[in-house]
Amino acid sequence: MKAETKEPKENKSARLPKAFLPERYEIDMIFDHKTLKYDAEVNIDILVNEDSPKELVLNALLNRYSIEALSLIKTDENTKEEVEIAKTFMNDEEDERIYIVLDQDLKKDEKLQLKLKIKGKILYEKTYGLYYCFWDPEIQQAFDAKPVEDRNRLYERDWRKYSKDLIVSLTAESAEFRSLIPSFDEPNFKAVFSFNISFQREYVESTPDFQCMSNGELLDSSLDEQTGLITYEFADSKKMSSYLFTFVFGSYHIEETFVLDVLPVKERRNDNHFRLRVYLPPDRKEDGETSLRVGRIALKYFGKYFNYQYYHPKMDMVCLPNFDSRGLECLGCIVFHNMAMLYGKDQAYNDKVDVTFTICHETSHMWFGDLVTMDWWNDLWLNEAFARIFEYISLEQMHLVKIDVWERFVKNIFTVGLEADEGAENHPINVKVPSVREIDTIFDNITYQKGGAVIRMLLNYVGYDAFKEAMRLY
């Protein structure tokens, strides 16, 4: 579609305007395993949040996809009227926005739907965001050795060899959901996510133990005989921030258990349990036992501690062979690096301890971050420092590791936090984040370790019982 370029304003805020609020994303995606490209039809339900807004602004990473069609429709009960658009501006990568200038007045509380058709590509530029990797270390090394711009060409030349080993994932923290589709890609723009994805039949059937996971429960996978596409349909997510949306697909082995609730969960469903699964590499089928056990105990523990049960109908824990973080707390589908989730019988006990701490950290995020979310990234410490301290609080009481957890805290958290605070790059725990591309710089030892140490001081000052009651109120 035709669009102009708009000069970014000087000193422009990193934040989107609040004239429009997203309520629901519907994403229907078709993936081409031969080219690593995708087509997507996207509907975004939007609430008008003020009278007579002049433009609708969304985040977009336009070097990753093209917008083939765009329209805006009123969806109130008595009308499906199309909203007149004067101009559309699609800016460069640095601005990461599209501007839809309106040619008619809208009223507060009107409901709209933004309809988009997108053609995109999945790149291996970095090990987070929308990217691909491989189980086979030799294949992974071959791709790592190539310049970024040559990796997709390498794949396309011999896709039959590589596709069976392919893992594709979206890990969207902190501002990577926009690399999939245009969106309101900020933590306080919470919405419901509906997701379907289709694959060519030959890809699914030629990939051993093919699995596809997302935030919602998998409702169905069905074959369209005419198109040869197998579609995976997922249930709606709970209302959540865009950085928590995820999907992963490739070859996986599954182990599962069920978690019994301490309290009834009206929000989830009538029964008293939910399913917990771990998704493992095909060659490490026996190494998910620790994660499955710790995940089951931790989710139950936190539900009881906060007096607020885990509120999603399932929990998946999925490992990736090549990932920039130890874990990412996507609601209902936590993603881990292999080393942070797998523990084999020949590994050292310290590895088991590290896996246990990471599982507790990420599961606590279902409350700190996913349920209660910071307004903007300056308060990232409210996610990460609380998750850090609850690793130690929970493991002190669950007795899952045979170590002195608070001795480990002094060594790994308190001391590291002090050292970071003495360094040249120290900053307040609550720090200004003027640019979206500066967000990643605060995922550091000040936010995690110093923040955790400060909360430990508060815990010691008010006492365990008062602290627990405050957390329940929070």
Catalytic residues: 362
Task: Residue count of the chain, please give it.
Answer: 474
Residues 6+ positions from 147 with CB-CB distance below 8 Å: none
d(CA 252, CA 255): 10
Q: At what angle do helices 415-422 and 451-462 cross, to 10 degrees?
A: 130
Buried b (16+ CB within 10 A) or exposed e, 131-161: bbbbbeeebbeebeeeeeeebbebbeeebee
d(CA 43, CA 309): 32
Q: Phi-psi bin for 177: left (phi > 0), alpha (psi -120 to 50), beta?
A: alpha
Q: What angle do CA 311, 354, 251 make, to 5 degrees?
A: 65
Specify the amino acid at residue 142: A
From residue 274, how far is each of 234, 249, 257, 336 by CA, in Å? Answer: 16, 22, 9, 21
Residue 295 host element (H or E) = helix 289-305
> In a 10 Å sphere around its CB, with 0-12 CB exposed, 13-18 middle and 19+ buried, how is residue 457 labelled?
exposed
From residue 20, how far is each of 113, 139, 213 by CA, in Å? Answer: 11, 45, 30
